[in-house]
A and B are shown apart, each in its own frame.
Chain A
Amino acid sequence: GAVVSQHPSWVICKSGTSVKIECRSLDFQATTMFWYRQFPKQSLMLMATSNEGSKATYEQGVEKDKFLINHASLTLSTLTVTSAHPEDSSFYICSATSTSGGDLRQYFGPGTRLTVT
């Protein structure tokens, strides 16, 4: 149980284009989903927290107009990197928490590797 998928697993795009990454909870309903980015040999950096049906909460320093997050249902959240640039190249990982009260465990997706050329 508690499986989270991401699509695509790897994407290459040209500078200036936009890329959408999907995060799905496959066997549970997720009230909250989180988006992280991770640079090589570094820990995870939380970008934003999204709750189903409401606006995402962005961490300090994360541009909300550049990283658009939509959490349209209890099983799907999307991250759109708008006008991507080479410095946006990174490993993006989502996680989800169950709707079960008091369970704060986060289950992570397999990650999406973004390369901007």
Chain B
Amino acid sequence: QKEVEQDPGPLSVPEGAIVSLNCTYSNSAFQYFMWYRQYSRKGPELLMYTYSSGNKEDGRFTAQVDKSSKYISLFIRDSQPSDSATYLCAMSGFNKLIFGAGTRLAVHP
């Protein structure tokens, strides 16, 4: 069993849709949770950073962490074609990040 599970997709949605991206994890020692966005042939860009259960909002993005269920989510409201990218969840353990496989998202006009 992988430490972090993430559905690789691809996920295709129409412009304006609400997108839900999810990861589950097995190690209860993870304390910090991040979401990165990666465009093709580019380095990952940090979108959200949380360290507690609950919700954190930043513009059209909301990160949700449920430590009791070992489940994290990223919601994108009013999705745009420019949101088309691969979204990677990452969790911090022992001074290094453990990444999910990444979910490829395509938002079509």
Question: What is the count of residue pairs linking A and B with beta-carbon distances less than 8 angstroms?
Answer: 47
**Which chain B residues numbered 48 to 101 have a C-beta less than 8 Å away from chain A?**
49, 88, 90, 92, 95-97, 99-101
Query: Contact size class for B?
Result: 20 to 34
Query: Given A43-B88, A44-B88, A105-B49, does the pair A93, B100 have CB atoms closer than 8 Å?
Result: no
Interfacial chain B residues near A58, Cβ < 8 Å: none
- How many whole Å from B42's CB to the nearest CB in chain A? 6
Interface status of B7 (Cβ within 8 A of chain A): no
Interface status of A113 (Cβ within 8 A of chain B): yes
Interface status of A46 (Cβ within 8 A of chain B): yes
Complex Cα–Cα for A110 and B43 (A):
4
Interface status of A49 (Cβ within 8 A of chain B): yes
Render A101-112 as a binary contact track against B, CB cut-off 8 A, 1 for contact. 000111111110
* Dominant secondary structure at the A interface: strand
* Contact between chains at B43 and A113 (CB < 8 Å): no
Interface status of B16 (Cβ within 8 A of chain A): no
Interface status of A77 (Cβ within 8 A of chain B): no
Complex Cα–Cα for A61 and B59 (A):
41
* Contact between chains at B96 and A111 (CB < 8 Å): no
Interface status of B46 (Cβ within 8 A of chain A): yes
- How many whole Å from A10's CB to the nearest CB in chain B? 9
What residues make up the interface of B, taking CB atoms closer than 8 Å to A?
Answer: 32, 34, 36, 41-46, 49, 88, 90, 92, 95-97, 99-102, 104
